[in-house]
């Protein structure tokens, strides 16, 4: 097991203000200002999946399986696109 290189005593002794100042000066951690939120785009969180039994033509299943290891995900995407087109 690798030993941590973190100086935990230094972190434990730091005040909230010191930690905040350090975080604000980190170029890899810019503050989230109004501009950030004005340009932010919502993401669609994955929905829960429900396991079912589905009968589909053999040639259709063969086509999906030969084109991707994630064939079930792709079948789901096709069905989702069809659903969207019907709304």
Task: Give tens-digit pLDDT for 24-35.
Answer: 888 888 778 898
Q: How confident is the model at residue 55 (pLDDT cuts 50, 70, 90)?
A: very high
With a CB cutoff of 8 Å and minimum separation 6, the contacts of 74 are: 64, 67, 68
Residue 70 lies in a domain: yes
pTM: 0.47
Residue 4 lies in a domain: no
Domain span including residue 36 = 13-85
Distances (CA, A) of 83 to 1, 7, 32, 77: 50, 54, 36, 10
Residue-wise pLDDT tens digits, 2-24: 888 888 898 899 999 998 888 88
Average pLDDT of the residues of the chain: 89
Contact 14, 6 (CB under 8 A): no
Residue 8 lies in a domain: no
Number of compact structural domains in the chain? 1
Residue 2 lies in a domain: no
């Amino acid at each position: 097991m690798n030993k941590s290189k973190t100086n935990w005593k230094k972190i434990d002794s730091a005040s909230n203000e010191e930690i905040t100042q350090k975080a604000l000066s980190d170029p890899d951690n810019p503050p989230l200002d109004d501009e950030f939120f004005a340009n932010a785009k919502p993401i669609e969180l994955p929905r829960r999946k429900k396991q079912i039994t589905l009968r589909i033509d053999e040639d259709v299943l063969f086509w999906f399986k030969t084109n991707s290891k994630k064939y079930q995900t792709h079948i789901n995407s096709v069905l989702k696109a069809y659903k969207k087109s019907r709304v």
